Amino acid sequence: MNVTTWRLPFDPIAKAAETWRQRIGPNWAMSAVTNIMRVQQILQASVDEALRPHGLTFARYEALVLLSFSQRGSLPMRMMGERLQLHPTSITNIVDRLEADGLVRRLRHPSDRRTTLVEITEAGKGRLGPATDAVMNADFGLVGLSEADADALGALLTNVRRAAGDFD
């Protein structure tokens, strides 16, 4: 059973919000939270499914894109964590898998022996094109939004991230 293919005759989040309002009180924040959680789940499933034929998950795809965008095609693992906003151990995990698939390579940093550089390989670059096509064609499950809607959504979410202290 694929969770993302369920279809209820009503919106369970709206229903929960209504019950909450009756029992406890108004709760716009709670509703927004559950909405985001569920949409994230939908998008994650949608993008991962599009990438599966290419042997990538969204997290690994993002890592590859990040490396391909860098000047030298390589970055320290710590910087990858900052940019992707993932825990160092998550980066270790992602790089382990990409390296096992031959899509990236670990290199010593020339001057700082603590640092490991991660470099995208030719195979990695070759994988990126078709994977990007797949992601673009998957439309991310955002079919319910116009471009203007998506921009508005992005602005609201960016406000949340700024308020949460993600960046200055």
Partner DNA sequence: GTCCAATAGTCGGATATCATAATAATCACG
Partner DNA sequence: CGTGATTATTATGATATCCGACTATTGGAC
Look at residue 25 and give its three-state secondary structure.
Answer: coil
Distance CA 66, CA 77 (A): 11
Distance CA 78, CA 64 (A): 15
| Only segment of 8-16, 23-31, 94-102, 136-144 that touches DNA (CB under 7 A) | 94-102
Residue 41 gets which letter from DSSP? H
Residue 95 touching its own copies (CB under 8 A):
no
Interacting residues of 127 by C-beta distance below 8 A, sequence separation 6+: 54, 55, 56, 64, 103
Residue 100 touching DNA (CB under 7 A):
no
Number of residues forming the site for DNA (CB under 7 A): 35
Residue 112 touching its own copies (CB under 8 A):
no
| Only segment of 8-16, 97-105, 106-114, 118-126 that touches its own copies (CB under 8 A) | 8-16
Residue 113 touching its own copies (CB under 8 A):
no
Residue 30 touching its own copies (CB under 8 A):
yes
